[in-house]
Chains A and B, each alone.
Chain A
Amino acid sequence: MYLGDFYTPELAKEVRQQLGLEEPIPRQYLSYLSGLASGDWGRSYRTRSQVFTTIVGQYRYTLELTVLTLLVSAPLGLVIGVSAGVRRNSHLDIGLMSSSITFVSAPSFLMGLIILWTLSVRMGWFPMAGAGDGSLGSALSHLALPVMTQALRSAAVIARMARSSIIDVMQEDYVRTARAKGLMERVVTYRHALRNSLISVITVVGIELSILLGGAAVTETVFSRPGIGRLLVQSILSRDYPSVQGAVLCLALMVVATNLLTDLMYGAVDPRVRVG
């Protein structure tokens, strides 16, 4: 693969020696680890460039997409879930929940293709592919469709959780007490119930954030957007193992950071949770 048409057994052996593939596996792993620490993540078999440089250049696209999606989907999902939950079994509730289960069931590449086809191919409102030329306006217009694709599904998941959580909370004793005190229904919902249902919503938002990072592979491929997910897929397809390792490592670091952030958020919402 690496040599292409120039393949001969002797040359292959020489290349293996150069790449360090003749060394015993534990030794290879140790030297990979020590390389990681000093910013040497190996060289791509495909482009022969430093994996670290490629990743530094690409990760911000994935981060942009994920963070922006969550900024849209978390408030949206919360509002939908709460308004469905407080009017349980109403027409609004049934309508919102039926559409949310549809969005949860839809494969994200289908959502992407439908959005791409209607808003870009038919209407021509948004560009079809890429990430723009660097200006803010073009970056945003390239982000709009991928963000929409991911946010619809993610908002649906968050809405379902928010709904069941607010329904649970509304049956708690303190909500009954608040009502008995003669507080307005609006105050009960927003001051007492909403705040207490946020804990489980934050859990889902945290899970969603890491699912979005994984799903970036699909979304970035559909919209031909640069990013770690697409880098991972392309590297797997071309058996470019140093790049696969680099992309996986980068995604894993992001997921770990996400989990840490979620734990810290608990402390912000619920004063009983102490970080330490």
Chain B
Amino acid sequence: MLRRAKRTKAIRIGGLLFALALLSAMMAPWLGPAGPNAQRLELEFQFRPPGPNWLMGTDEFGRDVFSRVLWGGRWSLLVGLGAVVVGGGLGCAIGFVAGYFGGRVDRVITASTNLLMSFPSIMIGLIAAAALGSSIVSVVGAIGLSVLPRFVRVARGEVLVIREREFVMSAKASGASDLAILLRHIVPNSASALIVMFTLYFPYAILVESSLSFLGIGMPADSATWGRVVADGREYLRIAPWLSLCPGAVILVTSLGLNLLGDGLRDILDPKVYIG
């Protein structure tokens, strides 16, 4: 009981933190005092420390960091979400097919999954983003590719168990097609494991995206994602540390919220999924 109570607390705190980040990004045009790239080059607007007028201070062009973070959140959350949806969705589909049909298809898929899994995903993201050039689509693709094998593995494992259950047998016996069995029986029964995977890899995708844009790889130069805002401020760490530290803290809060949420959900829905 105690454990369960603690977990729901984790879910509540996590959900709250994430909802805060999501809402503020969605409300950017109304909440933000200025546009993301609105410059005020007068001297009195440059390098202002955080205060009542500028919640997170201003940078060398007199841009309001708080507004940049709000607007950047739209990119970062969108790219993170896109990457887990694309990579995760595709990964699940591949995993279902591999686990359900087995045989040679399964062997080829498992072998290539293991190959991809043996490399750290930031490295795969880095190489893929470099090869695909800089655009939002290529970043989503690159991060999606790096999380894909992990979803394949979990989805395949789920199918292998569910396939042997009686209700699948009976569906087969009553003449249901493979597609119907997959969609009607296997997908709903593996949903809880996959929901946990999505929640835990969403913050991961956000971190990879912000690392890539911090390094200046992937996202086009004019899109101020969180990672890019941190990187822009890095040069002025000595005189204006808030330029990097404030947006960095926002990334931390968002990913912490999602991790708490995912951890809590995992303990309730599916204790056997481990993140590696």
Where the two chains meet, the residues of A that have a C-beta atom closer than 8 Å to any C-beta of B are 89, 94, 101-102, 104-110, 113-114, 116-117, 121, 164, 203-204, 207, 210-211, 213-215, 217-218, 221-222, 232-233, 236-237, 244, 248, 251-252, 255-256, 259
Contacts and interface: CB of A to CB of B under 8 A. Distances in A.
Residue in A89, A210, A236 with the greatest tally of chain B CB atoms within 10 Å? A236
B222 to A, nearest CB: 17
Given A121-B238, A214-B121, A214-B123, A107 B211 contact: yes
B111 interface: no
Contacts of A104: 259
B244 interface: yes
A102 B263 CA distance: 13
Contacts of B263: 101
Given A113-B244, A214-B122, A233 B255 contact: no
Please name the 6 residue pairs, one residue from A and one from B, whose CB atoms are nearest each other, closest first: A214-B120, A110-B248, A214-B123, A105-B256, A105-B255, A236-B130
A218 B211 CA distance: 7
A207 B119 contact: no
B245 interface: yes
Contacts of B214: 107, 109, 218, 221
A227 B123 CA distance: 15
10 contacts: A89-B2, A108-B211, A109-B230, A110-B245, A113-B234, A114-B245, A114-B248, A207-B276, A210-B119, A218-B214
B203 to A, nearest CB: 6
A164 B272 CA distance: 11
Please tell me the size bucket of the interface on B: 35 or more
Contacts of B217: 233, 236-237
B3 interface: yes
Contacts of A106: 252, 255-256
B252 A110 contact: yes
B224 interface: no
Given A114-B245, A233-B215, A102 B252 contact: yes
A106 B230 CA distance: 13
Nearest to B206: A107
Interface in B237-274: 237-238, 241, 244-245, 248-249, 251-252, 255-256, 258-260, 263, 274
B51 to A, nearest CB: 19
B245 A218 contact: no
Interface in B113-127: 118-123, 126-127
B238 A214 contact: no
Residue in A108, A116, A214, A259 with the greatest tally of chain B CB atoms within 10 Å? A214
A244 B263 CA distance: 37
Contacts of B172: none
Contacts of A232: 126
B210 interface: yes
A244 B256 CA distance: 33
Contact of B256 (A101, A113, A252): A101
A156 B3 CA distance: 21
B210 A252 contact: no
Interface in B80-97: none
B119 A255 contact: yes
A217 B6 contact: no
A222 B214 CA distance: 10
A271 B105 CA distance: 35
Interface in B33-53: none
Residue in B3, B126, B274 with the greatest tally of chain A CB atoms within 10 Å? B126
A248 B120 contact: no
A116 B236 CA distance: 12
A104 B275 CA distance: 12
B248 A113 contact: yes
Contacts of A94: 6
B207 interface: yes
A114 B207 CA distance: 17
B216 interface: yes
A270 to B, nearest CB: 19
A102 B257 CA distance: 9
Contacts of A113: 230, 234, 237, 244-245, 248
Nearest to B17: A105
A215 B120 CA distance: 8
Contacts of A114: 245, 248
A113 B236 CA distance: 11
Contacts of B120: 210-211, 213-215, 255
